[in-house]
């Protein structure tokens, strides 16, 4: 695809999707519409860079929205807001408040990003409520080793959980 064709495909996508995407982003950043515009601009820059792949995609607006979710995550990460949203207390609250949805998240999204062992440890600690001592005994390990592994798992799962909390 030459540059002119790429620009035409992008322009068509932009014109067809901009109003919907702006509304979507303003919903995400309801407290700061300037941030919504900034993230949306980043989304469209990424779309332009990948326009050849995107032109063949079966759901380009869905692709744009998914990209917007990850761009939003990076904005919160840069501003060090992730830890305020994903505290241990919030993870426990998610489990109690959205038990069915959270269980669905655990069986789909987290299983896709965690190894089987990581998933089992995460599940045993956060859902079943085993203590560090109990988990260390089950694994023939130390409390500190289990605690460190859980910290790595939380970092790995943070993006998926953030997206779940922010976007449902």
Q: Looking at 79, 99, 133, which one is the last position of a domain?
A: 79
Same domain for 95 and 74 = no
For residues 40 and 22, is the Cβ–Cβ distance under 8 A? yes
Same domain for 102 and 62 = no
Same domain for 110 and 89 = yes
Same domain for 69 and 11 = yes
What's the domain range around 133?
A: 85-167
**Into how many domains does the chain fold?**
2
The 10s digit of each residue's pLDDT in 72-86 is 877 877 765 655 555
Same domain for 90 and 140 = yes
Same domain for 90 and 50 = no
pLDDT of residue 41: 95
Q: For the full predicted model, state whether its pTM sits above 0.75.
A: no
Q: Looking at 62, 79, 96, which one is the last position of a domain?
A: 79
Query: What CA–CA distance (Å, rounded) separates 53 from 63?
Result: 11
Same domain for 8 and 64 = yes
Same domain for 158 and 141 = yes
pLDDT surpassing 80 at residue 19: yes
pLDDT band at 97; cut points 50, 70, 90 = very low
Q: What is the mean pLDDT of residues 40-68?
A: 93
CATH number at residue 64: 1.10.1740
With a CB cutoff of 8 Å and minimum separation 6, the contacts of 114 are 122, 153, 156, 157
CATH number at residue 111: 1.10.10
Q: What is the mean pLDDT of residues 21-38?
A: 86
Q: Looking at 60, 79, 98, which one is the last position of a domain?
A: 79
Task: Please report, rounded to a whole number, the percentage of residues in the chain having pLDDT higher than 70.
Answer: 75
The DSSP secondary structure of 76-114, one letter per residue, reads HHHTT-HHHHS-HHHHHHHHHHTHHHHHHHIIIIIHHHS
Same domain for 157 and 98 = yes
The 10s digit of each residue's pLDDT in 128-168 is 888 999 999 999 999 999 999 998 887 777 666 666 666 65
The distance in angstroms from the start CA to the end CA of the chain is 37
With a CB cutoff of 8 Å and minimum separation 6, the contacts of 13 are 47, 51, 54, 55, 60
Same domain for 136 and 65 = no
Same domain for 42 and 13 = yes
Buried b (16+ CB within 10 A) or exposed e, 29-43: beeeeebbeebbebb
Same domain for 96 and 64 = no
pLDDT surpassing 50 at residue 51: yes
């Amino acid at each position: 695809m030459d540059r002119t064709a790429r620009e035409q495909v992008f322009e068509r996508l932009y014109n067809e999707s901009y109003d919907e995407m702006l509304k979507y982003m303003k919903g995400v950043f309801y407290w700061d519409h300037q941030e919504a515009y900034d993230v949306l601009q980043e989304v469209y820059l990424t779309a332009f860079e990948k326009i050849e792949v995107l032109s063949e995609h079966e759901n380009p607006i869905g692709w744009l929205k998914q990209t917007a979710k990850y761009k939003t995550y990076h904005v919160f990460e840069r501003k060090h807001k992730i830890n305020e949203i994903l505290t241990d207390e919030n993870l426990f609250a998610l489990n109690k408040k959205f038990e069915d949805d959270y269980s669905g998240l655990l069986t789909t999204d987290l299983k896709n990003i965690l190894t089987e062992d990581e998933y089992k440890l995460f599940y045993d600690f956060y859902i079943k409520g085993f203590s560090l001592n109990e988990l260390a005994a089950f694994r023939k390990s130390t409390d500190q080793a289990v605690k460190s592994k859980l910290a790595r798992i939380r970092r790995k799962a943070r993006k998926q959980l953030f997206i779940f909390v922010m976007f449902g």
